[in-house]
Amino acid sequence: MNINQINKLIQQDIINVNFEIHKRLKSKITLINKLIQYIINSGGKKIRSSMVLLIAKSLTYKKNQHVIIATLIEFIHAATLLHDDVVDTSEMRRGKITANIMFGNAASVLVGDFIYTRAFQMMTELQSLRILSLMANAVNIIAEGEIMQLIHCHDPTITINHYMKIIYNKTARLFEVASQTSAILANADIKQEQALGNYGKYIGIAFQLIDDVLDYDTSNTILFGKHTGNDLNEGKPTLPLLHAIHHSTPKEASIIRQAIKNGNNRHLLNIILNTMQQYGSLEYTRKCAETKINQAISCLSILPASPYKKALKNLAYFIIHRYH
């Protein structure tokens, strides 16, 4: 079952989510509409919202509020991307010029705020204090994760354990809360709720680790207009770099540390790529992601057999095999 077959299984729900996205993000302010239309047209696979829809269906949920959760999860994700691109001074995303380059930093930040607040308006419609509390806490943790990443930018001394904490906060937490709240909405028992929350968490960690690998995939430059080694250029110490530091010679490790400290060291990229290849750093990171995916799949044993459970399993495999 590939991603298109998965989407076909929940096709009507996806149509409903897209309808809600367009309806909910309309504004009387032209700039908001222009910028939002730009990011909507930039695409994206909507993996988080697909998880919400599939989990609800796997628990035989019959109402429509799972569409609301799926939509507001997409809003939170879109808002974080707008803010991230400003912080990182990014120029490309998904093969397109970023909104901050097209519309300016101020507009991107403020429209990101508009999208965040619209998500919270939608949360109140669910009339569940528990879901509202979980969502609010998750957004707060995501913000902390982004700040932790900012603090440790250009810091080659960060430990792997601390880096894993950062990626849980800034990336995996949204996957986790998406899965958990969908389970709550569908009246899952406590064991199902915890297992499905963990499914989302492991998927989210794997997603970020694969992102770490793809940043050093030279084919991305050709296929998706993405510069290889952006993380290194921005001084971000991701898992492949940390692994290479811990396993290479002192001289090789020193070059990587200096590149992280200084940033803007694209002239060292080929040397560092060769070092990571020599010590299997990208393969190590991919295997860490595969371990998380296997943990995610094991969490699905709590669900009864159904096409939706099978789709959740295949969605997990898709994370490992994606190319952007």
- Write out pLDDT tens, residues 241-290: 999 999 999 999 999 999 999 988 788 999 999 999 999 999 999 999 99
293 pLDDT exceeds 50? Answer: yes
Percent of the chain with pLDDT over 70: 96
pLDDT confidence tier of residue 227, bands split at 50, 70 and 90: low
- Write out pLDDT tens, residues 15-50: 999 999 999 999 999 999 999 999 988 877 899 999
224 pLDDT exceeds 50? Answer: no
Question: Model's pTM, two decimal places?
Answer: 0.95
- Write out pLDDT tens, residues 56-80: 999 999 999 999 999 999 999 999 9
Kindly report which listed range (138-147, 148-157, 209-218) carries the lowest average pLDDT score. Answer: 209-218
Sequence ranges of the domains in the chain: 3-321
* pLDDT number for residue 223: 42
* pLDDT number for residue 228: 78
Q: What is the 3-state secondary structure (H, E, C) of the chain?
A: CCHHHHHHHCHHHHHHHHHHHHHHCCCCCHHHHHHHHHHHCCCCCCHHHHHHHHHHHHCCCCCCHHHHHHHHHHHHHHHHHHHHHHHCCCCEECCEECHHHHHCHHHHHHHHHHHHHHHHHHHHHCCCHHHHHHHHHHHHHHHHHHHHHHHCCCCCCCCHHHHHHHHHHHHHHHHHHHHHHHHHHCCCCHHHHHHHHHHHHHHHHHHHHHHHHHCCCCHHHHHHCCCCCHHHHCCCCCHHHHHHHHHCCHHHHHHHHHHHHHCCCHHHHHHHHHHHHHCCHHHHHHHHHHHHHHHHHHHHHHCCCCHHHHHHHHHHHHHHHCCC
- Write out pLDDT tens, residues 183-202: 999 999 999 999 999 999 99
Mean pLDDT value of segment 79-100: 90
pLDDT confidence tier of residue 88, bands split at 50, 70 and 90: confident
* pLDDT number for residue 324: 61
* pLDDT number for residue 146: 96
- Write out pLDDT tens, residues 100-150: 999 999 999 999 999 999 999 999 999 999 999 999 999 999 999 999 999
Architecture of domain 3-321: Orthogonal Bundle (1.10)
* pLDDT number for residue 96: 87
* pLDDT number for residue 1: 77
